[in-house]
Amino acid sequence: MRLVQVTDCHLGSNPGDDLLGLDTDLSLHDVLALIREEQPSPDLVLATGDISGCADLPAYQRFLKLIEAQFTVPMAWLAGNHDTPDVMEAALEGRPMPKVILAGNWLVVLLDSSVRGHEHGDLTTAELTFLQDTLNRYSERHTLVFLHHQPVPIGSAWVDQYIVRSAGRFFDIVDAHPQVKGISWGHVHQEFHQIRNGVSLWSTPSTCVQFKPNCDEFTVDHTMPGYRWYDLHPDGRLETAVSRIAKKDYPIDYASSGY
């Protein structure tokens, strides 16, 4: 199974709306074109939050149209701190959006770490119970878990203040289920990898503005927008890498101190 992850698109209410000077529709289009070039036949496209920067219905509708114009494979998404789940659901017009995806010997679990009206992440008791019950039910399947916020510090104080508050309880569940092979998130607008108790932890770059790693203050990076792909093998082996668009002269405000 080949899975493609995009995240933190920050689409505005209207085409051409920008984040720090970058037209986020344009950068998403560029990333999707790169995916089409490199991954013409993925099995699943997954979006891990902050799909919109304003949580307006037209932004989600436009996102869905952009994905459907490029891919005919299943798509799933989860909410970030800039999203509103009720509006995301309205954009689907009754279509179901899965939280559990079964593919061969693999299980993909989507968790909602967003907290309404706040930037930080958390997993409610109900969400943690859902994770535990799902891992118990599918204990024979190799598993990937996705959420929006980082459950571990990534080394940048300004964004690590928004870490998942219930990360301890989350990892208690993960540690008790050895079938979990990896955990991935968005939110931090940069690439990250760490291994914790034999489980790989990754973040995926944004499809728009990037944040410079290992900076305690908000700092915009000059790296380009990108995405992450995963190859999930039947025996539990997993391969993944980040791919970015070629250097492009986006009009980004690299001197910005926040957004």
pLDDT, one tens digit per residue, over 136-193 is: 999 999 999 999 999 999 999 999 999 999 999 999 999 999 999 999 999 999 999 9
Query: What angle, rounded to 10 degrees, do the helices at 57-70 and 85-92 form?
Result: 50
Mean residue pLDDT across the chain: 95
For domain 2-244, which CATH number applies: 3.30.70.260, 3.30.365.10, 3.60.21.10, 3.40.50.10490?
3.60.21.10
Residue 104: band (very low, low, confident or very high) from pLDDT cuts 50, 70, 90: confident
Non-local CB neighbours of 56 within 8 Å, separated by 6+ positions: 12, 13, 87
Share of residues in the chain with pLDDT > 70 (%): 100
What residue spans define the domains of the chain? 2-244
Helical segments of 93-226, H only: 125-137, 157-160, 167-175
Non-local CB neighbours of 73 within 8 Å, separated by 6+ positions: 41, 42, 43, 44, 45
Rg, Å, the chain Cα set: 17
- Answer with the residue of higher pLDDT: 69 or 243: 243
- Answer with the residue of higher pLDDT: 96 or 133: 133
φ and ψ at 65, to 5 degrees?
-65, -40
* Residue 191 near residue 204, CB atoms below 8 Å: yes
Residue 250, pLDDT score: 94
What is the distance between the alpha carbons of residues 46 and 135, in angstroms, rounded to a whole number? Answer: 20
- What single letter denotes the amino acid at residue 184? S
Residue 40, pLDDT score: 83
Sheet hosting strand 192-196, strand order edge to edge: 100-103, 106-110, 142-146, 180-185, 199-203, 192-196
Taken as a whole, the chain contains a residue count of 259
Using the predicted structure, report yes or no on whether residue 211 has a pLDDT greater than 90: yes
Residue 41: band (very low, low, confident or very high) from pLDDT cuts 50, 70, 90: confident
* Residue 183 near residue 151, CB atoms below 8 Å: yes
Residue 259, pLDDT score: 81
Identify the three-state secondary structure at position 18: strand
